[in-house]
Amino acid sequence: MKIFSVYDTEFKPYGKVLEGYDTVELMKAMGQIPLPENGTAYEAGIDSLEACSAVYEAFRDRAYGGMPIQIGMCWGHNTKLNCLEYHRDSEVNIGTGDFVLLLARQEEIDKGVLDTANVKAFRVPAGVPVEVYATTLHYAPCHVDAAAGFRVAVVLPKGTNTEKPDFAPQCEEDTWMTARNKWLLAHPESDEAKGGAHIGLCGVNVDIAPDII
């Protein structure tokens, strides 16, 4: 699979690089959190990251226009797609090292299913904040160095990815929701699909391992 840069024109439909943010303190705080031995971990809001007040306030006030936000993290080891999710708003990601995002677009969903042939890969440089648009499907980042793994901060409106609201589904999309402000399409091979998530990906479960060796 070809891995584009977030500075390439191919990234424009999916998101943009944000400018004018000092992420040094945030990266240091992220680096203090140990990696899992295998797989990935995620927390929606982490006190030590949100304590980086200057960048927290900058993201809250500039990236989200003053809306309440949370800064969490996804970290570990991963090279596979497995699932794609979306929110009703943009997500901002910042890595302590380079990482890769596997992305697609909501408009490519057809009758509740997206063909993974539409997925594109984008490499994000360390410390660079990237906005992933609300219309962009995304999931766990991928590492570019198996030994180093990845640590990626996840900035979202406060409450996102926490407990799913309790309501009776009124349409098919309602059944894709797996957490607050989170709609998920799972590949049949994924643990999420085995756990009952909507199987909304068809085709190859993309794995970039051969492309980062």
pLDDT value at 53 more than 80: yes
102, 85 in Cβ contact below 8 A? no
Q: If pLDDT is split at 50, 70 and 90, which confidence band does 119 have?
A: very high
pLDDT value at 172 more than 80: yes
Mean pLDDT of 145-151: 95
User: Within 10 A of 89 (CB to CB), how many other CB atoms are there?
Assistant: 13
CATH number for region 3-211 = 2.60.120.10
The pLDDT of residue 213 is 67
Q: If pLDDT is split at 50, 70 and 90, which confidence band does 179 have?
A: very high
State how far Cα 9 lies from the chain centre.
20
Give the closest residue to 76 by CA, choosing from 23, 173, 129, 147: 147
**Radius of gyration for the alpha carbons in the chain, expressed in angstroms and rounded:** 16
Give the closest residue to 151 by CA, choosing from 86, 73, 37: 73
Give the closest residue to 165 by CA, choosing from 149, 188, 147, 181: 181
- Looking at the DSSP bridge assignments, the partners of residue 202 are 115
Region for residue 179 given its phi and psi (left: phi exceeds 0; alpha: psi -120 to 50; beta: otherwise): beta
Q: What whole-number percentage of the chain has pLDDT above 70?
A: 100
> For residue range 29-47, what is the model confidence (pLDDT) as tens digits?
999 999 998 899 999 999 9
pLDDT value at 198 more than 70: yes
pLDDT value at 3 more than 90: yes
Per-domain boundaries in the chain: 3-211
Mean pLDDT of the chain: 97
Q: Does residue 212 or residue 175 have the better pLDDT?
A: 175
